[in-house]
A and B are shown apart, each in its own frame.
Chain A
Amino acid sequence: MHAKGVIRTLLAGTAAIVSAGTASAQTVPGPAGTGAGTTVTNTATASYSVNGVTQSATSNAVSFVVDRKVNLTVIANQQANTQVAIGKANVVTTFKVTNNTNGTQDFLLSANQLPIQNLFAGDNFDLTNLRVFVDSNGNGTYDDGVDKATYINELGADQSAIVFIVGDVPNDQAAALAAVTLIVQVAAGGDPAAQGAPLVPTVGLNDDAVVDVVFADNDSDGLGLDTALNGQGRASAAYEIGTRNVALSVAKSQVVISDPINLLVAPKAIPGAVVQYCLVVTNATVGTAAANVNLTDIVPANTTYQPGTLTIGLPGINPICTLPGSFIANDAGGLITGTTYTGSYDATAKRVTATIPVLLGATSVAASFRVTIN
């Protein structure tokens, strides 16, 4: 009687284990697989007959604990370089970290600015005040003062988090491109209130009852900076100076060309004299072109614009405003054969306009026009 009672209890116990295992596995695991720490239990049953009497038997329940397969994916979550301006603060690159581990993990974040020339050719400056933040409110956009978490806390299996690298662009006119790299380290999860310690792979023999740590991450950059099976992932993005100020300056001068009395010899500014105005625009920023430079000037009172005298070209030395080979604008603003410059005269506003679509760095362009004194 005692023995039978014990057997019954044992069988019931085995059945309980089986059903418990079934119940806990109702949810189909995601791509990361069965959760670490899950106990997988197997029990076989048998039926047979002895002298025509059917009986059954149940095997022992054998089990193992699923170990932690540590993996992660880190990508730059932006298609192009972040366009920034010289001196701008809190410029952002965006990354996405996905937990491919079969368990909830913390992720430790750091950033560096080592140049990666084969990925970001022309990397020539570093940001200052570099920081890394998690998109705490989940809107995918960096919110200064809101997204303050510096590590990813308790990210579930197959879940992703957005991470920002934030920095300031130095006030350096030569700056062009800065690459930054986000380095992500898988850490222990389980404590919502604190940052977990970096995971290390379990060395030595497995204990079936303990969740071992197995690194399964790949080499995320193929450059030798990251290595496979190190519990880390990394991705890079860049800041590009997209708009910058150029040092434009305009110099205006005038010279009397002729007068009705002295003609071309030592002409005086008397009524009927012809006066030439000269505007020279200079882009002093080496290496950066200025686009769509408009030179405008209002014809002075008591003078009359001489039609067809607006000339645009390379500047000469005073009193020559524009060198030979310059282009004469057609006052109506139409295209001028042989150049991209255009010029026009607005008779109503008495305004002269010369347009230079591209003014290269360290170059100058001159525009001249003539008026007669009334």
Chain B
Amino acid sequence: MITRPMIAAVLVATAAAASAAAGPLQVSSSILVEARSAAADGTTRVTLVKPTKVTPGDKVIFVLAYRNSGAQPLANVVLDNPLPRQIAYRSANPGSPAPDVSVDGKTYGSLATLRVRSPDGSTRAASPNDVTSVRWRLASPLAAGSQGQFAFQAVLK
């Protein structure tokens, strides 16, 4: 018999462990910031680190890592990341495929194809600030044991 304290203890355990138990597709979300340091050759090295001090206007990078931990290939994999309301989308992170974006959570596409309806009924081209959700589709099935990650840049409003 599971008592309430025990359930509470499980709830406190990391959510990542829970998603591992949920099914063959594991999705791990992380938020990182860029750290710049001078490399020995004089260039500036940019590494991604856990967010230190994050204040309005700072760039943050959202990383979605996925892995098929099951025994069967997974088809039609779609990763959807509704943006926290305090976050303004900027672009795909270098090295990551560009996501389809949405300004209403329903219609997805490249930013250039989207329009925003103003309160007076007119429409205008969508800007990165209008994006409310980003989405990636895997074109081919995700084989058992394989993994990958997507990332996008945003700023804290």
Contacts and interface: CB of A to CB of B under 8 A. Distances in A.
B19 A69 contact: no
Interface in B32-80: 50-57, 60, 62, 64, 66, 70, 72, 74-80
Contacts of B23: 55, 57
A34 B86 contact: yes
A208 interface: yes
A2 B10 CA distance: 11
B15 A69 contact: no
Interface in A43-87: 43-51, 54-55, 57-69
A214 B58 CA distance: 12
A45 B84 contact: no
Contacts of B78: 46-48
Given A13-B11, A34-B156, A50-B74, A206 B27 contact: no
B53 A212 contact: yes
A349 interface: no
Query: By CB atoms of chain B within 10 A, which of A22, A43, A59, A66 has the most?
Result: A59
Contacts of B157: 28-29, 33-34
Given A46-B27, A50-B75, A202 B53 contact: yes
B30 A62 contact: yes
B28 A42 contact: no
B29 A44 contact: yes
B25 interface: yes
A41 interface: yes
A38 interface: yes
A9 B11 contact: yes
A6 B29 contact: no
B91 interface: no
B16 A42 contact: no
A48 B27 CA distance: 12
Interface residues of B, number: 51
B75 A67 contact: no
Majority SS of interface residues in chain B? mixed
B103 interface: no
B31 interface: yes
Residue from A21, A46, A58, A206 having most chain B Cβ neighbours under 10 A: A46
Contacts of B75: 48-50
Contacts of B77: 46-48
A21 B83 CA distance: 11
Contacts of A60: 14-16, 18-19, 27-29
A212 B51 CA distance: 12
Nearest to A47: B78
B22 A58 contact: yes
Contacts of A25: 84-86
A64 B58 CA distance: 13
Interface of A: 2-3, 5-7, 9-11, 13-14, 18, 21-22, 25-26, 28-29, 32-34, 36, 38, 40-51, 54-55, 57-69, 102, 202, 205-206, 208, 212, 214, 216
Interface of B: 2, 7, 10-11, 14-16, 18-19, 21-31, 50-57, 60, 62, 64, 66, 70, 72, 74-87, 142, 156-157
10 contacts: A9-B11, A13-B11, A26-B85, A33-B156, A42-B83, A44-B29, A49-B74, A54-B76, A55-B25, A102-B56
